[in-house]
Structure 1
Amino acid sequence: MAKRTYNRFWRWHFYGALFMAPLLITLTLSGIGYLFYTNVENIAYKDLFFGNSEETYQLTIDEGISLVQHENPGYDITKVMMMEEPYNTRLTLASEDGGERYVFLDEHNEIVGSQDAKYTYANIMRNIHSSLFAGGTVVNYLVELAACWAVFLLLSGLYMTWRGKALMKPKKPARRIAIKRTHAWIGTVITIPMLVIIFTGLPWSAVMGDFIYSASQDHPSIGTPLLQQQPPASDMSEIPWAVRKEEAPSSGEPDPHANHGGGKMPGMDMGGNGILIEKLLWKARDAGIEKPYTIIAPSSEDGVFIVSKGSNTGVTGLDVSPYDEMTAYFDQYSGDPISTVGYSEYGILAKWFTWGIPLHEGHLFGWPNKILNLLVCLAFLYLIFKGFQMWLVRKKTGSLSAPPRAGRPVTAGFIILMVVLGVLMPLYGISLVIVLLIEGILHLARRKRRPASV
């Protein structure tokens, strides 16, 4: 019975590694690249991030925004990112055809330069890591499926290490045994940190990410707090994960005595009744909000300005400590604060991912976080390499040399593990059903080819 269970884990481990290794290598390499995106971008985009325009005339932030809108026809300004010194202010522009552009303003609010958002280093690494830079639902599912199978590979590897006593040093080690022992040691050491990295990345996944967020929304006691809000239509990627899909409260009626003429984000059709951005900055300062933070433009006549600080923005110079995360809503006409959601109001699930996502991205506790993640990723790549090396040593010419099929019966422990993983990771569960169907078809085909007994 134990041998059959071992062979079953071995066979599934073999095929899972064989088919998922290319994706896992791609995800790991892109993850390593993303770990250091802030360091790369600070050098690659030094002039945009820290440079100055040749113009030295001092403009207000609203005049700078108007200048950007004038020089970028067809684009609407949707976000203003107020950075700490020495970073320049960064504006996000969006067009109707889905294009996105970043424009930078210096200390005089003069234009320093711009870049296509799609081709920045951080966005390229992120898109490769999350969707192989191809995008689309199918690709997103495939990436998530690879992460789910990585969990099974790690857990099944631990079982085989324990059951096969792979960590024990043999008296007369053959080359394959030595490789297997190295493979087993690496897998044992990195299983827990690798599982942490995988599960802290799942909030951005297609299926489990939506499930986790829905659970967080439906159960405020463990997730995100309830707000009486109206959903904004603008993209909110710089808003903290815990409140990213929360509805925003509505603004009051337009104040006929408000400071008119330019307070709205240019290109937003709000009748010109919104407050000046300069005034909003003062309102944010009075509310105790310090840089860095993002301002999201109202999306409708009764929408609000959203001012947020996030620990997982994906924008160089914008991340803050999880404790400092907050999202504040300001009336677009008066500039008065309406409501604020802070880290202390998150439920335990939202707090976990508020810490977990920056841990996954490698900037929760500075350089040590980056180095730790890097070492785990490099060890994971070496683990894959040793696994393939072990297969090639035992592989016979002209044969796949897959592990032997396991006969019946199937142990209860194996079934329970597969069911639990399938429930926790729905895409993995679906893939298991497909694997079982394929195994069943192959089994029937072999039985038909088997000669009848005389």
Structure 2
Amino acid sequence: MSVTALEPGARRAADRASSDLYRAVWRWHFYAGLLVLPFLISLAVTGALYIFRDEIDAIVHADLKRVEVPDSATRVAPSALVDAALAAHPGTAVKYTDPAMPDASAEITVNSAGEGRHAVYVNPYNGEVLGTLPDRGTVMWTIRYLHSLKYFGPTARMIIEIAGGWAILLVGTGIYLWWPRRQNGGVVTVRGRPRQRMFWRDLHAVTGLFVGGVILFLAITGMPWSGVWGAQVNQWANGNNFGYPTGVRVAVPMSDEHVGHIAPTSWSLEQARVPQSPTAGHGARAITLDEAVAMFDRLGLHRGYAVSLPTSAEGVYSGSVYPDDLTQQRVVHLDQYTGKPLIDMSYADYGPLGRWLEWGINVHMGQEFGRIGQIVLAGFCLGVVVLAVSAGVMWWKRRPSGSLGVPPLPTDRRVFRGLLAILAVGGIVFPLVGASLVVMLALDWVYVRVVQRRASVVSA
């Protein structure tokens, strides 16, 4: 038999193998979408809003956060602002936040038995108390907690890791399905009309082409907030919970308190331990808040820094600021008796991993490229919503009546082996994702058996 005579058979075998692989990838793309798309819509909408958090908060809470700048523009001393806040809302002052802009109010965090922790907003030019909100009670903190699922407890937040891992799978399989295969359209153009499934298929594919890379980036940079993977990487990045990267040269006594518990901080420093004031117990006079703020100003902390007040004889004044400009990130701990900096740490002191993580998080939060970056990122969030909606419409138009519409199994099940090997590697890197993959495999096996049993009953 000649080689030429074998060519049609070989070609058919190759086409069948390609079709089987396509079916296998399509099936797992379907499952990934089934799990992820509802979360992607929620994450995209809340994320797009949070990108403009300062602008939205300034509008919604204008009566609390904005003040008129007088001609003299002379500010009241920080201690007087704290006294005014405590006179209106008695309790213990635990944090003072410096106004970030000339027309911004000062924020005093007060802890009281009746109200718990709450933020009191004070006019920095005349000491007038403007009002109060629960601590982190602004509309944008609400959006942030919805975005991270923090409202639903630590177990629900693990969904972030699962959704992130499956989003990565969604992008990988989606690129394979989009890859041009001798078609004339649907690659970078949309064919048909909205009443046709082809329109929604092309809209989904083309949108996925443009936003897929961003989904991948956001999924990876969002992983630090996940329940299992994020917590482990955070602990590892912090060097056995000490948290201070190479480049910080001063060895001081450490407390059991962590930076993330006393003030908002960068993700990679949440587990960093706060130092103790070594002068405690020597009869020294503690410096005032005004003196501490003056020291922070001399050290050049970016405007808008927060000062956590010492709550014990060994405590410290902790100044921290995380502006849009990464290079201006700073954490400074002062001895509460001498005012001497015990730790002075900036972005430049982070190790390579810390710098990469913080840069990724900064981009993820829309802080890195100014207003243009905010608009572009919000546009990609809109694209994610279009991607999810087009997937739902396309599935609805394609699915057979009374069926879930799961893509067909390949005729040769062996094509699953390579795909499952890739999935297994991803499951090892992201444990919760791996566990969800096992559950999905089991559910798929059960689904196949149910369909086969129904088919046998009908044929009988």
Normalising by structure 2, what TM-score? 0.83
In structure 2, the CA distance between the partners of 1:405 and 1:119, relative to structure 1 (3 Å rule), is same
Within the candidate set 316, 331, 348, 2:352 is matched to 348
For residues 133-183 of structure 1, the C-alpha deviation after alignment (integer angstroms, 9 at most, x for no partner) is: 63212221123322322221111111111275667459xx77333432232
Q: Aligned pair 1:296/2:321, yes or no?
A: no
Match of 2:336 among 332, 335, 346: 332
The 3-state SS of whatever aligns with 2:38 is: helix
2:12 is matched with none
Match of 2:129 in 1: 111
Does the aligned pair in 2 maintain the 1:237–1:244 contact within 8 Å?
no
In 1, the alpha carbon distance for the partners of 2:432 and 2:65 equals 41
**Residues 11-51 of structure 1: CA deviation (Å, up to 9, x unaligned):** 22213323432222111111111111111111222221222
In structure 2, relative to structure 1, the CA distance for the partners of 1:14 and 1:446 (3 Å cut) is: closer
> Tell me, which stretches of 5 or more residues in structure 1 are unaligned?
260-273, 311-318
State the alpha-carbon separation in 1 of the partners of residues 184 and 365 from structure 2.
32
Bigger radius of gyration: 2
Q: Given the alignment, which residue of 215, 219, 227 partners 1:194?
A: 215
Letter in 2 for 1:202: M
Name the SS for the 1:248 alignment partner. Answer: strand
Cα pair distance change 1:281/1:27, threshold 3 Å: same
- Root-mean-square deviation (CA, aligned residues, Å) is 3.2
Shift in CA distance, 373/134, structure 1 to aligned 2, threshold 3 Å: same
Match of 1:232 among 257, 262, 278: 257
Please give the secondary structure, in 2, of the residue aligned with 1:289. coil
* Cα distance change on mapping 1:65 and 1:255 into 2, 3 Å: farther
Taking the aligned partners of 1:150 and 1:333, their CA distance within structure 2 comes to 51
Aligned to 2:424: 419
| Closer, same or farther: CA 351–166 of 1 in aligned 2, 3 Å | farther
For 2:128 and 2:268, the matched residues in 1 are separated by 34
Instruction: Using structure 1 for the length normalisation, give the TM-score.
Output: 0.84
Kept in 1, the 8 Å contact 2:46–2:146? The answer is yes
Counterpart in the other structure of 1:176: 197
What is the distance in 2 between the residues matched to 1:48 and 1:412? 59
Task: Write out per-residue CA displacement over residues 394-451 of structure 1, whole angstroms, 9 at most, x where no aligned residue.
Answer: 2222222221123411455312320232123222111001112223344556677758
Q: Equivalent residues in 2 for 1:255-274 (5 A)?
A: 258-259=284-285, 274=286
Judged with a 3 Å threshold, the aligned counterparts in structure 2 of structure 1 residues 239 and 169 are, in CA distance, closer, same or farther, namely closer
Give, as a single letter, the amino acid of the residue that structure 1 aligns with 2:77. T
Alignment match, 2:297: 285
Aligned match of 1:366: 370
Give every structure 1 segment of 4 or more consecutive aligned residues whose post-TM-superposition deviation is greater than 6 Å: 446-449
Q: State the AA in 2 paired with 1:307.
A: G
Q: Does 1:93 align with 2:133?
A: no
| Contact persistence 1:326–1:342 (CA under 8 A) | yes
Contact 1:78–1:92 (8 Å) recurs in 2: yes
1:274-320 CA-partner distances (Å, limit 9, x unpaired): 3210011122233333422111122432221111121xxxxxxxx24
Encode CA deviations 1:327-362: one digit per residue, 9 max, x unaligned.
111001221111211111111111112222221111
Q: Secondary structure at the match of 1:232?
A: strand
* Match for residue 287 of structure 2 among 272, 275, 282: 275
Secondary structure (helix, strand or coil) at the match of 1:301 reads: coil
Consecutive unaligned residues of structure 2, counting only runs of 5 or more, are 1-16
Distance 1:412 1:11 in 2: 14
Q: CA deviation at 1:240?
A: 2.7
Q: How many pairs align?
A: 425
Structure 1 residue 379 corresponds to structure 2 residue 407? no
Report the equivalent of 1:315. Answer: none
Which residue of the partner structure matches residue 80 of structure 1? Answer: 96
Query: Is residue 409 from structure 1 mapped to residue 414 from structure 2 by the alignment?
Result: yes
Specify the alignment match of 1:313 in structure 2: none
Query: Judging changes above 3 Å, is the alpha-carbon distance between structure 1 residues 19 and 337 closer, same or farther for their aligned structure 2 residues?
Result: closer
C-alpha separation in 2, matches of 1:81 and 1:177: 55
Aligned 1:57-68 pairs, distance under 5 A:
60-68=77-85
SS in 2 for 1:224: coil
- The answer to whether the Cα contact below 8 Å between 1:242 and 1:346 also exists between their aligned partners in 2 is no
Mapped to 1, the partners of 2:147 and 2:184 lie a distance apart of 33
Distance in 2, matches of 1:192 and 1:143, equals 18
**Which whole-Å CA distance do the structure 1 matches of 2:184 and 2:422 have between them?**
23
Higher deviation after alignment, 287-296 or 359-368: 287-296
Supply the distance in 1 between the matched residues of 2:180 and 2:438 (Cα, whole angstroms): 26
SS at match of 1:393: helix
Once residues 32 and 341 of structure 1 are traced to their aligned partners in structure 2, the CA distance between those partners, rounded to angstroms, is: 31
| Residue 27 of structure 2 corresponds to residue 11 of structure 1 | yes
Residue 388 of structure 1 is matched in structure 2 by: 392
Superposed, 1:102-251 pairs within 5 Å as 102-106=119-123, 107-117=125-135, 119-131=137-149, 134-162=151-179, 168=185, 175-218=196-239, 224-225=245-246, 228=252, 229-232=254-257, 235-251=261-277
- Checking the alignment, whether the CA contact within 8 Å between 2:35 and 2:163 is kept in structure 1 is no
Q: 1:128 to 1:290 in 2, by over 3 A?
A: closer
For residues 230 and 330 of structure 1, the distance between their equivalents in structure 2, rounded to whole angstroms, comes to 14
Deviations 1:243-296 (A, max 9, x none): 22211222123376755xxxxxxxxxxxxxx32100111222333334221111
Instruction: Between 150-159 and 193-202, report the one with greater CA deviation.
Output: 193-202
What's 2:14 paired with?
none
Instruction: Provide the rounded CA distance (Å) in 2 between the counterparts of 1:12 and 1:135.
Output: 28
